[in-house]
Amino acid sequence: MDDFIFHNPTKVIFGRDKEQEIGAELKAAGVKKVLFVYGLNSIKQSGLFERILTSLRENGINYTEFGGVVSNPILSHTRQGVALAKAEQVDAILAVGGGSVLDEAKGIAVGALVDEDLWEFYAGKEVEKALPVFTVLTLAATGSEMNGNSVITNEETKAKWNIGSIHVYPKVSILNPALTCSVPPDYTAYSAVDAIAHVIEGYFTKQPGSRLQDRLVESIIKTVIETTDLLMEDPDNYAARAEFEWAATLALNGLTPAGIGPFSFPNHMIEHSLSALYDIAHGAGLAIVIPAWMRWYSARSRTPSQFRRFAAEVFGLHDPVAGIDALEEWFKKIGAPVRLADAAIPNEDIGRIAANAAHLAAKWGIGEEYNSAVIAEILHLAV
């Protein structure tokens, strides 16, 4: 095991109707006024917006509304949020939505306390402080509810960059699985791919030899697969939504990579370019990239024991390649795209995508392993 620091101070409140506790949690933290960040008007139609306002009112919490966060949240809108947070002098950010809303809320929390433009932090400047972030999650996928990550797209440059800081771990995240029952089958599938993607990056790219962390990863993947299958049959299965949601949270809360040593995020690196250039769902992009990357990586005999483990432990198969095939088949079964054409991405764009992704590879320190020629080679396996 390598050295590590594990520090995840987020308080998770999990269960039915728990969003009603948000006001009390804000009050207990001494918050007087929040910026209430959300995405679409669907939270108003569903009644969630009003239930949260009731909880805020009952606890004397003032708020300023800031809706309109889009999937793959964009810098210009985040900047508007920063300006509003400053103008209204809020002392916390309340995010109600999925990973995009949470990620933008974290960006606003950082930008609200500094004079410089928040993009500087996504470009690499260290985050030293942020307003406290509170969340009510409506889509289980990204893990943003229990980590210090935020991804924002600069729509001018098409750069999709991230920050990671202890200061943007949510203080409190409320997870009511019933709120995710309205997620349609396609987005449930993309979310499943996303959660799996979060754990397999470390699993395959680290050095072998961390048996506990490998088992935690396999536990999460098997749970995501089983509960997703149940949800494809019955989207209202609360028990399956609940296990799916907790698995997705644990998939990116620091638990699985603790002690595994250096690893990289090649699938996320390539996918970020797909969703930045084509605005497809992050999980859909990952479903295209992952089988291609796995075939490319395993064919080069990288970490062969991990590919054997994966096939055996997750699918009960003895051949490592059969494990990759099984994962791809499962992606198809739940309706996720597995080829560029499935997402209407022209094969002739591969060069352009690879060039974009190579920038991120360089930023993430894996540019030597993944130059644009290599990325193009991987993407050709998704043709």
Q: Which of 219, 278, 321, 367 binds its own copies (CB under 8 A)?
A: 219
Choose the binding region for its own copies from 15-23, 156-164, 189-197, 275-283 (rule: CB under 8 A).
15-23
Looking at the DSSP bridge assignments, the partners of residue 289 are none
Site for its own copies in 251-290 (CB under 8 A): 255, 258-259
In this chain, which of 4, 89, 234, 305 binds its own copies, going by CB under 8 A? 4
Q: How distant is the alpha carbon of residue 135 from its chain centre?
A: 14
CA 38 to chain centre: 17
Can residue 362 be called a binding residue for its own copies (CB under 8 A)? no
- Quote the CA–CA distance of 123 and 117 in Å, as a whole number: 11
* Residue (of 189, 164, 197, 175) closest to 267 by Cα position: 197
Of the two residues 215 and 333, which places its CB atom closer to its own copies in the complex? 215
The 3-state DSSP class for residue 338 equals: coil
Question: Cβ closer to its own copies: 11 or 332?
Answer: 11
77 close to 70: Cβ distance less than 8 angstroms: yes
330 binding its own copies? (CB under 8 A): no
DSSP string for residues in 61-81: -EEEEE--PPSS-BHHHHHHH
| CA atoms of 66 and 87, how far apart (whole Å) | 13
Tokens 């594990």 correspond to 6
Verify binding: residue 16, its own copies, rule CB under 8 A.
Answer: yes
Size of the site for its own copies (CB under 8 A): 40
Indicate which single residue of 44, 57, 129, 215 sits in contact with its own copies (rule: CB under 8 A).
215
Q: Which of 88, 226, 325, 377 binds its own copies (CB under 8 A)?
A: 226
Residues 6+ apart with CB under 8 A from 28: none
Is 377 a binder of its own copies (CB under 8 A)? no
177 is an interface residue for its own copies by CB under 8 A: yes
Contacting positions for its own copies (CB under 8 A): 1-16, 18, 177, 209-212, 215-216, 218-220, 222-223, 226-227, 239, 242-243, 246-247, 250, 255, 258-259
